[in-house]
Amino acid sequence: MASQVTCTLFSLQFILFSYFFTITSGAFCEEGAEGIAIKRVEKTTHLHFYFHDIVSGENPSAIRIAGSDKSSFGDTMMADDLLTEGPEISSKPVGKAQGLYALAAQNDISLLMVMNYAFTEGEYNGSSISILGRNQILNDVREMPIVGGSGLFRLAHGYALAHTVWFDEQVGGALQLCRAKVENSGKSKVCFDGIPHCHGVSYLRNLSPSQSHQILARDATSEQSPMIISTKRMEKMTRLRFYFHDIPSGKNPTKMRIAGPPKTAADSFGSTFMVDSPLTEEPEPTSKLVGRAQGMYSFASQHDAGLLMVLSFAFLEGTYNGSALSILGRSPVLDNVKEMPIVGGSGLFRFARGYSLSKTVSFSQKNQNAVVEYNVTVVHF
């Protein structure tokens, strides 16, 4: 059989913005910040649509693609869900929600959301919005970052708030009322006042994917009230330092292999792990817990130890309790210092962007346990 090789040329355009700050370095707590005024002209748009996630029956819109046989931790679903104008599944289609969601917590029901919302109707036909963040589906209101977009949502960033309105325990169906507000221009910002919490509702009632059927609400794509506004916001820079504990073995491992080539070493190309690792104030495991790193990483290089990192840093202590940062980037494991981009945030880190610098503090050859120091610099409002 002849092999098939595809070569694709990508033409990329980059827009760079420079900001200057004077701040002092700090530990986990914020030590100092200085703000600057930024004036932008932005367009505000309101969207409404409904989200249908069906994980059972003859034509499921989401299927399990990875996970462990030991527990539901790490269960990963690929979704191609219908977005409609009204709550009925027979309502006018306005787009698709495509991407994955995974159970990324061992002690609660928190999902890693990596989704694109592709619109196929009206003014936004051909445009899309990207979400990457943590979704605590048991909370009354959940917030997730919007980290980008395409088409009319080019350069978009913002946040999504989700609230469950209806859930059917018997069939695993849920209905969620959503209101969407979009701010966009040449430098666009997308703000959802409501977005489906939605995925993995089956875990709420201990239903398996084959037993559950979810109908998750969002509102329609019609533009309600566009307007041009001139905004003047104060941005500040925050620096955090904390320690990430990666524990692959023992009684309470913090990660689990969920996918990869069969019968290969754990660190082979394609091996993928779900992590729920503690973040502490100091490098000792007994140090004060300040948050958790939840998400996944994969060995994405065939020739060196390069990881694809898709993580949420969820903070549980102090000023930033309830806030989170989203990371998407490459981690060259053998480098002394590794840099990764921060692409979004929630809570006090809404509209966040920045970078993290990490270095390994300790590594055990015996049990493979590692402690990694993270120094995070983030700009936010």
- Interstrand relation of 141-150 and 128-136 (parallel, antiparallel or unpaired): antiparallel
Q: What is the pLDDT of residues 265-277, one digit of tens each?
A: 767 899 999 999 9
The 3-state DSSP class for residue 152 equals helix
**How far apart are the C-alpha atoms of 277 and 3, rounded to whole Å?**
42
pLDDT of residue 155: 83
pLDDT of residue 165: 61
Q: Is the pLDDT of residue 296 over 60?
A: yes
Q: Show the beta-strand stretches assigned E in 268-333.
A: 272-280, 289-299, 306-315, 324-332
**How far apart are the C-alpha atoms of 35 and 45, rounded to whole Å?**
28
- Would you give the distance in Å from CA 304 to the centre of its chain? 26
- CATH code of 43-230, in short, is 2.40.480
Whole-model pTM: value is: 0.77
Within the chain, all domains assigned CATH 2.40.480.10 are found at 235-380
**How far apart are the C-alpha atoms of 152 and 130, rounded to whole Å?**
13
Q: Are 131 and 195 within 8 A, CB to CB?
A: yes
Q: What is the pLDDT of residues 127-140, one digit of tens each?
A: 999 999 999 988 88
Mean pLDDT of 182-202: 36
- Interstrand relation of 158-163 and 189-192 (parallel, antiparallel or unpaired): parallel
Neighbours of 357 (CB within 10 A): 14
Q: Provide the pLDDT confidence category of residue 142 given band limits of 50, 70 and 90.
A: confident
Residues in the chain: 381
Phi–psi pair at 45, nearest 5 degrees: -130, 140
Q: Is the pLDDT of residue 220 over 60?
A: no
pLDDT of residue 335: 93
Bridge partners (DSSP) listed for residue 311? 295, 327
The amino acid present at 160, given as its one-letter code, is A
pLDDT of residue 367: 87
Q: What is the pLDDT of residues 166-177, one digit of tens each?
A: 665 554 445 444
Tokens of 262: 């069969």
Q: Provide the pLDDT confidence category of residue 48 given band limits of 50, 70 and 90.
A: confident
**Residue with the larger pLDDT of the pair 95 and 10:** 95
CATH architecture of structural domain 235-380: Beta Barrel (2.40)
